[in-house]
Amino acid sequence: LPPPQYSWTYPLAMVVESLREFEDEHPPSKGRTNYYFIDLFALNQHKAAEEVGTTPEEGPFNAALAKARHGALMVLDGRAEPMWRIWCLYEVSRAREFNQAFRLIADDGDVANAGASTLEEISASLLKLRAYSANASRESDKDAIHYRILDPHLKSQASSFEKFTRYKYQLNESWFEEFDAHVCSLIGTPMLRAGLRAGSEAVCTRAVGMGAEATVADLETMTQRLGADLKAEVETRFG
């Protein structure tokens, strides 16, 4: 069901434990079982170029995302390593295109239950996120995915992948501002929930800067219980 994203820099045991914690927090209904598709094991890594197909849309994770009944998961630690891989960023964009729920989990399960220090470390990493600088094993993969996650106004000008490659030498991080802001905001709302639960003014204000969806009640809690100054400047994706 939910297909987790997996970074090769993580011990597999950590991923399994994170999923186990998530399962405890979100148990399947009686008589049912949750199944997890892990993209790392979806293809023969020794023949990845053959098995992914000629375009990113032909990759096996596309079918998993299209058919998932409960959305997608991404396993993170403080470094938010998967967010620096171009394929992982592309899967984030595909989850949005398939209108799938996208959730983040850490060592303690759902990221909303993570400790304040873990949340602050993850948020600091995501504020620095730039799709332009994301890594890929093959340059051709990076080019193909960059074309697909271009900001809409630029995508409309680059009417084809061939045209995009002709202007690739002009590529810079400003071409992906909307996408980067979207990825950064993914953790904002669960981070705000976790900050409120932990009673951390620092975590809450950083979450707002990342684009968290905050209600009036949330802001009242921040000011009245946590002493937050809503006129204070906070760090955002844009400065």
Model confidence at 136, pLDDT cuts 50, 70, 90, reads confident
Model confidence at 2, pLDDT cuts 50, 70, 90, reads very low
* Mean pLDDT over each residue of the chain, to the nearest integer: 83
Model confidence at 1, pLDDT cuts 50, 70, 90, reads very low
Find tokens 């592309």 and name the residue. 90
Beta carbons of 198 and 116 less than 8 angstroms apart: yes
Q: What is the mean predicted confidence (pLDDT) over 62-82?
A: 83
Residue 165 gets which letter from DSSP?
H
Residue 228 gets which letter from DSSP?
-
pTM, entire model: 0.78
Model confidence at 218, pLDDT cuts 50, 70, 90, reads very high
pLDDT, one tens digit per residue, over 121-133 is 888 888 888 899 9
Q: Which two tokens stand for residue 10?
A: 């993580």
Highest average pLDDT, of 76-80, 140-144, 223-227, 228-232, comes from 223-227
Q: Which residue has the higher pLDDT, 24 or 187?
A: 24
Q: Which residue has the higher pLDDT, 44 or 147?
A: 147
Q: What are phi and psi of 86, to 5 degrees?
A: -65, -35
CA distance from start to end of the chain:
37
Please tell me whether residue 105 adopts helix, strand or coil conformation. strand
